[in-house]
Amino acid sequence: MKSSKFIGMLSGTSMDALDCVLVEFDKNQPKVLDFICSAITPSLKLKLQLLAANACSDLRELGNADIALAKCFAQTAQQMMAKHGLSPADITAIASHGQTVWHQPLSQQGGERFTLQIGDPNTIAQLTGIVTVADFRRMDMAAGGQGAPLVPAFHRTVLSSPTIPRAVLNLGGIANITILPIDSSAPFGYDTGPASILLDWWIRKNLDRAFDDDGQWAASGNIHGLLLDSLLEEPYFRMPYPKSTGRELFNPTWLGSKLLPFASLDAADVQATLMELTTQSVCCAIKRHLVSGEVLVCGGGAHNGALLRSLQKQLPAFVVRTTADYGVDPDSLEAVAFAWFASQTLAGQPIDFTPFTGASNAVVAGGIYRP
């Protein structure tokens, strides 16, 4: 019987590392065998950041980054296989989300709706000798959806409870929630707003650190009410779901414009206010749909103790815990989700993203690239 092992890979909003998981599935339930992070070189990271900031319109740069990133993905997959003594024949498929460089779920100024991920799957398949499944978002967009968030469909499969209403909270660069009721109403989810994307940028700018370890810097500051009110005035927070967002909106330019009237504010106070922005936007969304239950946190924010304590304080009717309490590693969950999507794609099985993206119908997500 052919191996059920998959390699799932993605590069997130930080653009500084590739997440890579080795996983096998038994009746849709994942068993994570290993998880590694592989650093992206500073030069490639800069290229990706320029593309994502729409600061580079040179198609040659886009093409170069597409292939360079694919080579990183292939090398990381090979590193995982070598670590476990596996050959290409032992892996059913590689699931590659790639790197989002632009996500435009709504038409703007007469333009089309689209999403663009790079990391050429043809190159990955050829360099590894393994079937590669990629381009997961665009079929959903072709069906009228926003192409994001997709991972809630996996949350529905592995984290639903028949007795406890749950909100699965993914705290990556962007925060998104998956509401899993216990009654007959269908699960749904959407992006609530920024999670680490602004926090990481602000601490990098001021302290030259990649991230705020355990939220300690934010915890040392004071929340500035007027700045928080200004941040929360962003229309996105009041938009009805389905909705999705990214660095196209929540970026240094957006934050800089909000900070102009507060030039004398202490940098630590800005960080505290940004963390409160994440807390309030998330908590308002959860309380809009559930009155009590569990909040299961995953993503990098699951390691931010200050943020988790802030969430628990503002959600007294909920138990806030990480997905690790239910045997699902918070760090690898998203990579595992795309590996599961790939397993469904290979089987020709449509996935119903409609409650999360607004698509008109379930779709087979992703293209298949054979070496």
What's the confidence (pLDDT) of residue 317? 98
Span 1-37, pLDDT tens digits: 355 999 999 998 778 789 999 999 988 789 999 999 9
Is the pLDDT at 257 greater than 80? The verdict is yes
For domain 5-146+332-369, give the fold. Nucleotidyltransferase; domain 5 (3.30.420)
Contact 196, 172 (CB under 8 A): yes
C-alpha Rg value of the chain to the nearest Å = 20
What's the confidence (pLDDT) of residue 27? 81
What's the confidence (pLDDT) of residue 256? 97
Distance CA 208, CA 204 (A): 4
- Please classify residue 100 by burial: count the beta carbons closer than 10 Å to its beta carbon, then call 0-12 exposed, 13-18 middle and 19+ buried: buried
DSSP structural state of residue 130? S
Average pLDDT of the chain to the nearest whole number: 95
State CA 265 to chain mean position distance: 31
What's the confidence (pLDDT) of residue 54? 76
What's the confidence (pLDDT) of residue 76? 97
Is the pLDDT at 231 greater than 90? The verdict is yes
Task: Please state, for a pLDDT cut of 90, what percent of the chain lies above it.
Answer: 88
Average pLDDT for residues 266-281, to the nearest whole number? 98
Q: What CATH architecture is 152-326? A: 2-Layer Sandwich (3.30)
Distance CA 248, CA 13 (A): 11
The answer to whether domain 5-146+332-369 and domain 152-326 are alike in fold is: yes
Domain positions in the chain are: 5-146+332-369, 152-326
Is the pLDDT at 150 greater than 60? The verdict is yes
Q: Which residues pair with 36 in a beta bridge?
A: 20
pTM assigned to the model: 0.94
Task: Please report which confidence band the pLDDT of residue 72 belongs to, taking 50, 70 and 90 as the band edges.
Answer: very high
What's the confidence (pLDDT) of residue 1? 38
Span 314-370, pLDDT tens digits: 999 999 999 999 999 999 999 999 999 999 999 999 999 999 999 999 999 999 999
Asked if the bond preceding 355 is cis, omega within 30° of 0, the reply is no
Q: Strands 114-118 and 318-322: what pairing?
A: unpaired
Is the pLDDT at 53 greater than 90? The verdict is no
Span 153-203, pLDDT tens digits: 999 999 999 999 999 999 999 999 999 999 767 899 999 999 999 999 999
Is the pLDDT at 109 greater than 90? The verdict is no
Span 80-103, pLDDT tens digits: 999 999 999 999 999 999 999 999
Continuous H helices in the chain: 42-52, 59-83, 121-128, 138-142, 152-159, 196-207, 216-220, 225-232, 252-259, 267-289, 305-314, 333-346, 354-357
Please give the single-letter amino acid code of residue 252: P
Contact 140, 357 (CB under 8 A): yes
What's the confidence (pLDDT) of residue 56? 67
What's the confidence (pLDDT) of residue 184? 63
Which of 54-63, 134-143, 252-261, 275-284 is predicted with the least confidence, judged by mean pLDDT? 54-63
